[in-house]
Structure 1
């Protein structure tokens, strides 16, 4: 099979779309293409059968040989000590009790082992499953410890892009609250007994329904941005858990687009950028 591209003209799920577009292949063969990582949506490998497609996207089916050598996600930077990827939305950073295989950690490990069977990767930090963007792995234990032990002092900026419903009360502001997680694993602000969370936001553009925000965080609490923006009355688009009423792109509209930190060994300032997801700007025109 040669590389083929299929433009998406209407909203659909990935498996039915492939069954309709890829001729001469059985349902089982199409599922195998997904399992082997031969299917990409806008250049990002997707293996979920129910992945949502939106008009304007492009689905690419790769030959098996290309899928075997290509990373399952964009590589932003790689050297002998770290691997930085652009994690797709919907992909876990690491394993949970329910999902142990389809994770960024597992895929990064498989990618590294293709060139070095003894290669390993180590979790340094995490992104929410629904959030896309810059994710850093260490490739050896000393590097992992160096980053994790001094993460708060090494990181200069963790920047996100968020498309929110409506508009926040101010063009730019800082939200500082205490956050607590309830039994349903939802995070919310409390007056006492929580962990401090600090979120800064600036408006980049606004349309009739949505606003694009630049968001920077001083603390990395679970679901911090999602909770704070929801409490301002402008939940992240596609965030059903935190009060969103719409899902315009078939995903949570939150993207970690920049990570700036200091190399713990050389003292060098390192900046990693993940391109803005397609569709974010269109929503605020």
Structure 2
């Protein structure tokens, strides 16, 4: 069983929800801010409480490393503690690190995020340098049940500047989709999906449906829900045809307590309510 098989099964059993732990200090409740702890320790506690409150609702957690790198070594300690805590609970963790280099550098990125202090189950990768930016991870996909989500059609507005450019009859993101399917052929799982998946945003549903047709063996990580405007209805047609995706929300979930005005130890209850509302919003259309 590949890691993408596991994620596929988790997305059906618990719902296609990815909780994004893109945690910064401004998201923390006041009771944590006021503690005489390091910033990294405060963020670690915040993340642990959220994981405890949502583990039965989430198929996976995505941890954006930039939020932790910005705090230096203390932040990286929080990143390490967070991914270890979630994985020790049996949860699948996506390291949102968007690495994109080749050869020996790519080898070191693979080692750094698929083993040791920062070990995750799936990494996000920028493959616009071609297969050389993906192949360093192949041994881990083959031997250690790891996976990749390769950037294909992202949710940010300026993605069109490059990803929608035409090369012959195809857009750049369509060419990337063909490559992702090709690269993934050697890493197919029992679910029919490869261990090499793709990042496709929810902000352009009509493009997503065409990508799904083009890439039948690709499992998707889908940003763009909530704060970026995506809804359960937007992903409905995709998931009706195939349970081929998990949908990520970060700010929309982990600030649930702020929207409710909660600054005490009960903050995670509101994050849970926001996660449950997201799950219900998506599943009502299926």
What's the TM-score once normalised by structure 1's chain length?
Answer: 0.30
Structure with bigger gyration radius: 1
Normalized per residue, the structure richer in strand is 1
Normalized per residue, the structure richer in helix is 2
What's the TM-score once normalised by structure 2's chain length?
Answer: 0.30
